[in-house]
A = this chain, B = another copy of it.
């Protein structure tokens, strides 16, 4: 059973199906795993989340095709469509994953992109602790993918799990996880989405006949759909003055930058100038163990919020000054000689250490008979304080690395940022540390740099053996998905 939407999509893309199918078919012969209907996938297996990029050839409906244009990607709708065979074909694994994998609270769905060859890229994720279930789903696939010569099929992968879970994949599925270096994959993927952003701005400019965006960070926001919407821009910055997320057209795409990847932990990667071949030089210059999983781990311990999104939403309205010790709490105002404003945090969680029973209101008796009332601590304030602690610290380490390497552009990635509050805190902290000299930029596909990069690196390696390389958006060989 193929639903009406699927038929429509298949029809509109059908004219290209054969060409791409032919090009991708050779991948199977060379040993790269190809799923029913010709899709290929790539995995980024992190400590907390596993991210998938699925490349579907033209003619195969993707999860996004079943959601309504312009509205946020609707997981429930996609699952329903998957149940009726409407997603990725009746035996497609995207549909199976949507239908059967436990979805973590605050599941983050990402939009597809054109793959530049008439097909599409879709982005999925699940919690790494459900890897057993994921492997079970793959094992049930029908027809089960086979290497034509009986050899091992390979799945492009990165992240620590590309090593940790390799024995499990081999044993249960007979698949080889083909690891790409994580830092290389992250940088490569980031550059891909950066190119997609530049390509999109150029297309808009060509369509309107006038320059789009200004590269100034705040202008151009009204010319494009709102950021973070399904049709929003790929890159954006946070406008502290206007207190909003704004689309950003990078005036120098491909220039050297720092990539700060906030996953469970944090990696800080120096990424060199983009090469025409799409490759980049990569150096992991720093890292930090206070990361996304630190925020969520402490959130779980300190609050009753059940989902990450619930916690971050609470942080929007929380007041960190009730929890943290500010410079003004210690100095009574700013510390002018050091240029520390009074509202800067001097000690995260510094105020709660001086209270005895901070989780509930209580009255303490002093020796002279007077009493001291200790107010209870609010969960929203705690969550805000956690968010600020983690992001301030990341901004500081990132700034130190940027200064050390003479770089003034920092791109943030990882599956953590998600909301305006977090971008505001990071942007504000970076402005403080760098004196406004360093720009913080964010990307809609922030969580998928690694998985995208692993696919690109595998395609690059495979190109020599017949696997069609993925063209960089806007490069020679790039073709829009037909409408």
Contact = CB atoms under 8 A, between A and B. Distances in A.
Contact of A347 (B127, B265, B331, B354): B265
A332 B164 contact: yes
Given A127-B354, A160-B332, A333-B163, A349 B301 contact: yes
A375 interface: no
A200 to B, nearest CB: 34
Contacts of A353: 48, 293, 296-297, 299-300
A331 to B, nearest CB: 4
A44 to B, nearest CB: 12
A347 B128 CA distance: 15
Given A377-B301, A396-B288, A129 B354 contact: yes
A5 interface: no
Given A284-B338, A330-B47, A347-B294, A300 B265 contact: no
- Residue of A47, A48, A289 with most partner-chain B CB within 10 A: A289
A345 interface: yes
A160 B335 contact: yes
A232 B377 CA distance: 42
Interface residues of A, number: 72
Given A265-B347, A352-B297, A330 B290 contact: no
B47 A290 contact: no
A338 B298 CA distance: 27
A223 to B, nearest CB: 39
Interface string A158-185: 0111011100000000000000010100
A246 interface: no
A290 B348 contact: yes
A162 B358 CA distance: 28
A324 B48 CA distance: 12
Interface string A261-302: 001110000000000000000001010111111101111111
B294 A389 contact: yes
A286 B332 CA distance: 21
A359 interface: yes
Contact of A160 (B46, B300, B330, B345): B330
A382 B296 CA distance: 15
Nearest to A293: B350
A355 interface: yes
Nearest to A267: B338
Given A347-B264, A350-B293, A161 B330 contact: yes
A325 B344 CA distance: 30
A239 interface: no
A136 to B, nearest CB: 9
Contact of A163 (B164, B264, B331): B331
A36 B94 CA distance: 83
B264 A359 contact: no
A222 B148 CA distance: 72
Nearest to A346: B265
Contacts of A163: 331-333
Interface in A330-379: 330-333, 335, 337-338, 344-356, 358-359, 366-367, 377
A450 to B, nearest CB: 12
A103 to B, nearest CB: 11
A367 B102 contact: yes
Contact of A290 (B333, B354, B359, B389): B389
A400 interface: yes
15 contacts: A47-B330, A47-B347, A160-B346, A163-B331, A163-B332, A164-B332, A164-B333, A290-B393, A294-B350, A296-B353, A297-B348, A297-B351, A300-B352, A301-B349, A397-B397
10 tightest A-B CB contacts, nearest first: A160-B330, A164-B332, A297-B349, A293-B350, A160-B331, A297-B353, A264-B347, A296-B353, A47-B330, A297-B352
